[in-house]
Structure 1
Amino acid sequence: MSDQPNLGQLLAEASRPDLDPEDAVFQIGLVIDAAHDFGHEATVLGALALCDQIEKRQLSDALKVTVEYFKANAWAALQEIRQSEPADAWLWEHPELSKQILHLRRAWAHPGFAALPSVRKCQILTNLANQMNAAGRFVDAIQLWDQALALNQNFAMALGNRGAGLMHYARALYDPGHQILFLRGALSGLHAALAKDAIWEGGEEAAKGPHQVFARLRDDLTSRLDGFEDVELDPDNVEHLGADLGEREYRRWCMQRRLFLNPLNDLWRRPIVARDVLTLPDLTTPLTDGPEPPRIIAFYNQIKQEYASARWLLFSGLAADGPHNSDRGVVLFNTLDYPIHGLAIEQVKIAYRSAYSLLDKIAIFINVYLGLAVPTARVSFRSIWLEKTGRDWVIRPEFARLDNWPLRGLFWLAKDLYEPDFSDVTDPDARGVRAIRNHLEHRFLRIHDGTLAFPLSAIEKETDDQPSMSVDRAVFEAKAIRLLQLTRSAVVYLSLAVRREEERRSRERSVGLVSMPLSLWSDDWKR
């Protein structure tokens, strides 16, 4: 291959020991780009090895982030080289995709991220959003695209990919009105990506391919929406937030953090989204001696209610500005390390535990709904997707044969969690999140304010003989909000995955149906 010597020369140049770190990292980026262009796997692997080597040198924080970004690019190149068949896109396990998400998240979470140029930050966030979307985590992807656009509202790759992502999200929805709103949002983003003031990194040649893709999507979507009337609604009517000032404050807080079980909260942060309207689609259950009780609907009801209650507890704990009446008269000794005590912090702790436990309940739901017959005591959100074959864990055949994008999103969301048997995580903070949960449930977690807190590194490693752990209050509260957002994503994916599965079952069904209508549970019955 005539280009191979040039790649070898580039690799040799990047590995020169006399290069200063900044030049060496720059050269590694050139090697990865060239190897990607020529589809040369060995050179990509060589560049990854150089990344590992250069990380042993003294690097600035900004260079450490750049190396993580280049590692993600290298794994993207390997994925494209190794998975060239269209059917490969529907494989559930993608080791290369998993590596991309992990390295991009490491780059994003690193202290050096803040010092990067705005364009590089947008590239990292947009690439991470793109990979999340490819994995089926479209809810999480939108939040990342929006963060990139908050840095640069004209960043073309974020605008265009967000538009494409909203199109895919619309296909997964069951409400025709919501579908139209998402498609109109998608069209707006595609127009913005193709506008004259859009910013394309990499120059005209690099932008040519994506520009053509976005233009084709825009034209197709324009023709599809032609003739559809706008959905009549008043998205900014504050009556959606309730009449009570306290309720309005709570609903605004949820709305801004995208915590409503309402797909429109991924599109907007406006009063109309302030209701948990997401439900399951019409379900088909077998007739034996009579209609089976709607157990799956009861499961989803409980998941929604527990989620909404955890959300309120979190808000209440964060909003509290003094001791609660229940705190008065509770005699405690001063242990001289000054942890935080009181109902407010306990509410945040309960919300954290509840949000984490809901993920395992979603796994129970999946086990029952898909008839996997895994013993209930062995079901967890991390393990439900896999079965052990010899020494290896592999995707269960019941999942492997399903063309279900939201369900695959749930599978990839599970990779954010760490369990000892499943260490292939895509979230660099997975061990820390689990360590907090375990100390909340089984040991002792102390919350401290500011300078009185132990170093954050104390929560990154969990040992069997560690009876207690200390966490900074701001860190803990941020993790609690993020965990609730993660759980909310899982509940959304679950609803849309069931819809997709019910559509598949209806196509394969050969017998008639008996209708069993269900009425809504009144708010007045909740007590």
Structure 2
Amino acid sequence: MLNMNHEDLLKLETIEDLSPSDQVHTIGSLFDFSYDHNNIQGVEHGFKLSEQIDREKLSDEDYTVLHYDLANGWSYLRKLKYRFTKSDWDFQMDELMHEIFYLRKAVASPGFHIVQKERQCQIYTNLGSSFSYIGRFVEAQDYWNKALAIIPHFPMALGNKGNGLYYYGRMLFDEIHANIFIIYAYHFLESGLSLRQYLEGDAEQGFQSLKDHIENNVPKDFLQLPDLNTYELGDDVQLKQYRQWCLDNKLYINPLNDLGAYTVACHDCLNLPTMIIPAKRPPVCLNLFNQIKQEYATARYSLYQSNMGYSQHISDIDVPLMDSMETVRYSYYIEQLKIAFRLSYSILDKIAYLLNDYLELQIPERQVSFKSLWYSDHKKKALGSFFISSDNWALRGLFWLSKDLYEKSNDFDSVLEPEAKEIAEIRNFIEHKGLKVLADVSFWQPDYETDISYTITRNDLEKKTINLLKLARAAIIYTAIAISHEENKKDYSDVRTIPIGGNTIPPFMRV
């Protein structure tokens, strides 16, 4: 392995004569040294040198590390260019897009599970921090949790999770929930600082500053962790099992579920905040949000039901089907899985429809989609004027969440999720073509050249569906919080208004 100082690295004109492993190490060192010396040109030089690396010659482990290093390079470039400037808040930022894309590529790479556990934790921790930064603070928790599942006392994950929980809590319009989040944030910060000797960069200073801030503003007696398992899941066995499944998978539209599988979170309590609308204006947003929540709950239960097929469903008994000898599964339960997938995906466009109305963006209804909502032109290049000046963190999160979706062949450069194209393709085949769900692909190798149906294993479809459902859940939470932020800025003192919100629809009207 080469040992070079910053000046030597900057003078490098080629790395082609190095071994693949040394090439990766050199790029990573150049990025790190350049950031430490506030040298933007050094970071850019690292990107140019990285183009000389033949990816096909890299081992699986080096391939993963290269993507981690490239993500760091883009992160360093972003911080050196924009930190402490107004541009740091911009919705659009190419550096951020590349940073997150490469981190996700590292996670999806074959070598991820064979690199050192510390490296796996670093990748997950950085993903969590990047997601929190762009406003996707709900999903950030999952990445920090994944790091802590690998090394339970990984200090950077503990501290960053505490930081993320604090700012997540500050966004909540339910004061009880907000206070609980701040308490949990304090304890994660404390845990991270207990291992301060392992913290990187200026993390210790940042974590300590936030911990001190909480201590100075919250009485010590109120910083004790509350018991969140005080709610009974019920006596009905089926209801109890369903609620526990939702809690374990963090599928309730309830921020408290992001703290863990605590019974107090076993209901979808998050609704829109109390809103003020003109007296003659119907409650459009309230009705749309209700529909979105209902469709989400139906998608969630459909996914749950799809795993309950221990025997043939009664609706399938009188439906004989011919065996194609390909282990394709056709059943009520498979259709429930498809329904969950379709509903989860469609929720995102309904959120766009809601926001177009609420934010008065005046995009023609036929042109509204979750992917296009944010732009003033059909090529999705120019950000809409409302979003250019917006300080709405949750709305920023929704904008970046839209980058997980794929629409057209020329759209891939602006997509953050490496599997986005496949997800869109599956949706298209479910809606308009044919989807073959196999029990086990090892029993039959599909001929992708001649088959007009999309082929996928049941296990893969289940994984993609639950990920899509989690995406919809996060989007719903961001939407409610984004609207709360906008409502707090409004002044209706000179307008006749009716406050909307507060009462729930009674059970007899939910039949």
CA shift in 2, pair 1:56/1:268, >3 Å: closer
CA shift in 2, pair 1:80/1:515, >3 Å: closer
CA shift in 2, pair 1:15/1:467, >3 Å: same
Report if aligned partners of 1:352, 1:484 keep a CA contact under 8 Å in 2.
Answer: yes
Q: Report SS of the residue matched to 2:377.
A: strand
Scaled by the length of structure 1, the TM-score of the pair is: 0.91
CA drift of 1:56 comes to 3.4
**2:74 maps to 1:75:** yes
Q: Equivalent residue for 1:387?
A: 376
Which sits farther off after the overlay, 416-425 or 365-374?
416-425
CA shift in 2, pair 1:181/1:518, >3 Å: closer
Q: Equivalent residue for 1:333?
A: 322
Q: CA RMSD in A?
A: 2.4
**Alpha-carbon deviations, 1:276-299, whole Å to 9, x = none?**
000111111123xxx322121111
Bigger relative contact order (CA 8 A; separation at least 6)? 2
**2:429 maps to 1:405:** no
Q: Equivalent residue for 1:270?
A: 262
Report if aligned partners of 1:102, 1:426 keep a CA contact under 8 Å in 2.
Answer: yes
- How far apart, CA to CA, are the structure 1 residues paired with 2:451 and 2:390? 42
Size of the aligned set, in residue pairs, is: 506
Which sits farther off after the overlay, 482-491 or 80-89?
80-89
Report if aligned partners of 1:456, 1:472 keep a CA contact under 8 Å in 2.
Answer: no
Report if aligned partners of 1:13, 1:27 keep a CA contact under 8 Å in 2.
Answer: no
**2:162 maps to 1:163:** yes
Q: Report SS of the residue matched to 1:42.
A: helix
CA drift of 1:264 comes to 0.1
Q: Report SS of the residue matched to 1:504.
A: coil
Percent identity of equivalent pairs: 35
Report if aligned partners of 1:180, 1:231 keep a CA contact under 8 Å in 2.
Answer: no
Report if aligned partners of 2:183, 2:225 keep a CA contact under 8 Å in 1.
Answer: no
CA shift in 2, pair 1:95/1:148, >3 Å: same
Q: Report SS of the residue matched to 1:395.
A: coil
Scaled by the length of structure 2, the TM-score of the pair is: 0.93
**2:498 maps to 1:505:** no
Q: Report SS of the residue matched to 1:505.
A: coil
Mind listing any 5+ residue stretches in structure 2 that lack a counterpart? none
Report if aligned partners of 2:121, 2:150 keep a CA contact under 8 Å in 1.
Answer: yes
Q: How does 1:305-344 map to 2 (within 5 A)?
A: 305-344=294-333
**2:239 maps to 1:247:** yes
- How far apart, CA to CA, are the structure 2 residues paired with 1:199 and 1:297? 50
AA of the residue aligned to 1:251: R
Q: Equivalent residue for 1:492?
A: 477
For 1:477, which of 450, 462, 465 is the aligned residue?
Answer: 462
Q: Report SS of the residue matched to 2:376.
A: strand
AA of the residue aligned to 2:299: A
Q: Equivalent residue for 1:200?
A: 198
- How far apart, CA to CA, are the structure 1 residues paired with 2:277 and 2:268? 25
Q: Equivalent residue for 1:35?
A: 34
- How far apart, CA to CA, are the structure 1 residues paired with 2:55 and 2:241? 49
**Alpha-carbon deviations, 1:171-216, whole Å to 9, x = none?**
11011111110000000011001114x6726xxxx44x21111111
AA of the residue aligned to 1:369: Y
CA shift in 2, pair 1:440/1:17, >3 Å: same
CA drift of 1:490 comes to 0.3
Q: Equivalent residue for 1:430?
A: 420
Q: Equivalent residue for 1:361?
A: 350
CA drift of 1:129 comes to 0.6
Report if aligned partners of 2:16, 2:53 keep a CA contact under 8 Å in 1.
Answer: no
Q: Equivalent residue for 1:259?
A: 251
Q: Equivalent residue for 2:219?
A: 226
**Alpha-carbon deviations, 1:420-451, whole Å to 9, x = none?**
15321111110011111110001111011223
CA shift in 2, pair 1:36/1:132, >3 Å: same
Mind listing any 5+ residue stretches in structure 1 that lack a counterpart? none
- How far apart, CA to CA, are the structure 2 residues paired with 1:511 and 1:426? 43
- How far apart, CA to CA, are the structure 2 residues paired with 1:183 and 1:53? 47
- How far apart, CA to CA, are the structure 2 residues paired with 1:242 and 1:285? 38
**2:177 maps to 1:178:** yes
CA shift in 2, pair 1:328/1:11, >3 Å: farther
Report if aligned partners of 1:154, 1:199 keep a CA contact under 8 Å in 2.
Answer: no
Report if aligned partners of 1:250, 1:315 keep a CA contact under 8 Å in 2.
Answer: yes
Report if aligned partners of 2:274, 2:502 keep a CA contact under 8 Å in 1.
Answer: no
**Alpha-carbon deviations, 1:91-119, whole Å to 9, x = none?**
01011011110000010111211101111
CA shift in 2, pair 1:514/1:304, >3 Å: closer
Report if aligned partners of 2:14, 2:52 keep a CA contact under 8 Å in 1.
Answer: no
- How far apart, CA to CA, are the structure 1 residues paired with 2:103 and 2:430? 29
Q: Equivalent residue for 1:143?
A: 142
